[in-house]
Amino acid sequence: TEKLLFESEKLTAVGQLAASIAHEIRNPLTSIKGFLQLIKGTNEKVNKNYLNIMADEITRIEMITGELLLLAKPQAHDFQYEYLNKIVEDVVLLLSSQALINHVEVNVTINRVPLMKCVPNQLKQVFINLIKNAIEAMPTGGVITIHASQQQDTSIRIVIEDEGGGIPQEFLDKIGTPFYTTKEKGTGLGLMTTLKIIDFHHGTLNISSVINKGTKIEIILPLEQTTTLKGNLSK
């Protein structure tokens, strides 16, 4: 079992991030421009193939910019009291058809936990990212187990486990780095965004993974946000 603790110091600097975003967005744009040029140059009816590629590339830009929008600065008033149960149940329902199609069963057990001060939409995004990754890690189906309970008086511990292929150690080190993906249609932004949001909530995230057995993600979130707001999520 390999374990990795993500800390705020490990998060990529904004400047480096901006440069890689510019690079990633330029790639599909260059491709779209190229195909437009080709279409303009032909007298034949519009080449459907070019249009399909262009549509795919535009979808890609949408996905990248969509994930990045989440890094926008949340305001103090975005914090509210919400039950973790509600957030997780909403996400599981949202992803239920995707799970069904992929023969994935999602088992949720959440012990009675108190209201938690959080930005619910951001935590929703965290669970969407993690559960999606778990589904995508099990192409032939399997079980995702989600368990949550109160830890001491001050925090909630959430564990998400899958039975997927696991993450090799050399990749574990790169996880959370923007645009690192092993998927043909991945953005490589899900885990980075997840880490930022957890960090913003003053929480911690641990990944342990065993090849061909599965991946376990442990999140610890404080029930209250006693410390002052970390001004900007993108810092």
Q: Which residues bind Mg ion (CB under 5 A)?
A: 133, 190
- CA 53, CA 124: separation in Å to the nearest integer? 31
Nearer to ligand ADP, 67 or 119 (CB): 67
**Can you give the length of the chain in residues?**
235
- CA 11, CA 219: separation in Å to the nearest integer? 17
Nearest one of 61, 12, 3 to 193, comparing CA atoms: 12
Q: Does 142 bind ligand ADP (CB under 6 A)?
A: no
Residues facing 160 on adjacent strands: 146, 217
Nearer to ligand ADP, 118 or 131 (CB): 131
Select from ligand ADP, Mg ion, none the partner in contact with residue 183, using the beta carbon and a kind-dependent cut-off of 5 to 8 Å.
ligand ADP
Question: Smallest gap, in angstroms, from Cβ of residue 154 to Mg ion?
Answer: 30
Residues facing 122 on adjacent strands: none
Select from ligand ADP, Mg ion, none the partner in contact with residue 188, using the beta carbon and a kind-dependent cut-off of 5 to 8 Å.
ligand ADP
Question: Smallest gap, in angstroms, from Cβ of residue 190 to Mg ion?
Answer: 3
Is-contact 25 61, C-beta < 8 A?
Answer: yes
Instruction: Calculate helix-pair angle for 120-136, 84-94, nearest 10 degrees.
Output: 50
Is-contact 206 195, C-beta < 8 A?
Answer: no
**Of the residues 119, 167, 195, 221, which one makes contact with ligand ADP according to CB under 6 A:** 167
Q: Does 225 bind ligand ADP (CB under 6 A)?
A: no
**Of the residues 36, 86, 183, 210, which one makes contact with ligand ADP according to CB under 6 A:** 183
Residues that bind ligand ADP (CB under 6 A): 129, 133-134, 137, 162, 164-167, 175, 180-183, 186-191, 215
